[in-house]
Amino acid sequence: MKMDSLFDVQKALEPQAVMASGHESQSLLPKKILALQIELGGLANLWHHHGLHVWKHNQGSPEQTTYPLLQTDVPLSSATNPLLESYLNCLHLILSIGLDLGCDFHISDYIPIRDPSNDVGAQFRTLFRRIAQVDMDRWHGGKYYRMFCSFIGLGEMLDLTWSEIQQHYLETTKTSGRHSVGL
């Protein structure tokens, strides 16, 4: 999966997000890592309490997708799919952390890493460990790469397609003009 364009969009948003946070003179990396852990916990909570991976009915086109647990027939969008919205919040933070670490680098292809047993709970736990590894050894690009690939694998396991993730990421950045989570 190509990530260059997403890093470029996030890079353009960073100055606005930093200024809005009021923390221009300090490193936001520790806060971003904590915010990512909190957002990922929220995503895990949504998955756990609202269907344990069984979200979509009428799995036709996105316009036909409904979310019975939310008791709505509203067409698919990040605003009506809290799982996608929460995933996008994590994506913004992961991209932002990558920019802070200088890991928006030479690797443009990210290959999803999934738990061998296809256990979503295990994928969440692995991702939390990988975030902690990035936090402990911030300048090791390979750890960031594995964290990002595990995150992409989680999206697949949650039945989110990369095309819908990209589409909604770009939509949220266009409509909001910036995206900062938890800072």
Per residue in 21-59, pLDDT tens? 555 656 789 999 999 999 999 999 999 876 554 444 444
Number of domains into which the chain is organized: 1
The answer to whether residue 33 is domain-embedded is: yes
Residue 50: predicted pLDDT: 65
What is the average pLDDT score of the chain?
78
Dihedral sign (CA 45, 95, 97, 14): negative
Q: What is the pLDDT of residue 102?
A: 85
Residues 33/134, Cβ–Cβ less than 8 Å: yes
Write down the H helix ranges in 54-183: 82-101, 120-136, 141-157, 162-176
Q: How far apart, in Å, do the first and last CA atoms of the chain sit?
A: 28
Mean pLDDT of 98-126: 85
In a domain, 182, yes or no: no
182 pLDDT tier (thresholds 50, 70, 90): very low
Q: Quick one: pLDDT at residue 9?
A: 86
Q: Render pLDDT for 146-164 as a digit per residue (tens, 0 to 9).
A: 999 999 999 999 999 988 9
Q: Is the residue at 19 inside a domain?
A: yes
Confidence (pLDDT) at 109? 73
pTM for the model stands at 0.77
What is the per-residue pLDDT across 133-148, written as a single tens digit (0 to 9) for each?
Answer: 999 887 777 899 899 9
Query: What is d(CA 83, CA 50) in angstroms, rounded to the nearest whole number?
Result: 9
Q: Which domain holds residue 90?
A: 4-176
